[in-house]
Each structure stands twice: as C-alpha cells, then as structure tokens.
Amino acid sequence: VQYIFISLFVGLMYHKLGDEVPNGVYDRAACIWFSFAVMSFTPSYTAVTSWDKERLLLKRELQQRQYNVTSFYIARQLVTVPFECLQTVVFVAVMYFFVGFQAEAS
C-alpha cells in the first residue's frame, strides 16, 4: 500500500511529462532519480522501524535454542525478497504509465 501511494505521488508530480528537449530531459532524469531514491530508502526505513520487534523475537528464540542467527536471517531474506520484488513491480507499473514514459517499444 505504501508503494502505491508513493508511486501515485511521483506520478502526480511528473504527470504527463512533455517531449520538449530543454525541460523534458531534465524532468525525466529527475523522475528516474526520485524513483531510485524511493526504491533505495523505503526498504531500509522499513527494516529500521521493524528491527526492534524482530530483535526481541530473535533474542527469545536464541535463548530457547530453536535455531541460530544464520538460519533466522536466511529465512527472513527468503520471505522478504519476493515481497520487495513485488512491491517494486507495483511501484514501477503505476508510476511508469502515470508519468507518461514511452508505452511501446518502437
């Protein structure tokens, strides 16, 4: 849901960019840069905000010797990476056409 709102925000900010050379190139570059920034910083912010809860869970389960730290992080990555990929696809699908980038490969 967060990525959908951010992609709508970027889409509204750069809605239907013009094709003129002086401003259009810079606007498109700014849109791409902003999109990369969002895609880079949002997952790390999410990880920082959820780390405290995960740390307590990991500490409790390590004390009970249920598994080791490596197993925890491998399992965590196997779960989070597909969701991050799906969120990225949703973000790009909404933002790309909303901004008005080239719709066909010609």
pLDDT tens column, 6-59: 888 888 887 776 666 677 778 888 888 988 888 888 888 888 888 888 899 899
- Radius of gyration (C-alpha) of the chain in whole angstroms: 19
Structure tokens at 1: 């849901």
Q: What is the pTM of this model?
A: 0.71
Q: Would you give the distance in Å from CA 6 to the centre of its chain?
A: 9
Q: Which of 44-48, 57-61, 69-73, 100-104 is least confident?
A: 100-104
Q: Whose CA is closest to 71, among 58, 81, 84, 53? A: 58
Selected residue with higher pLDDT from 97 and 58: 58
pLDDT score recorded for residue 82: 92
pLDDT score recorded for residue 59: 92
Dihedral sign for Cα atoms in the order 55, 76, 5, 22: positive
pLDDT score recorded for residue 48: 84
Q: Whose CA is closest to 47, among 75, 84, 20? A: 84
- Pairwise CA distance, residues 69 & 75, whole Å: 10
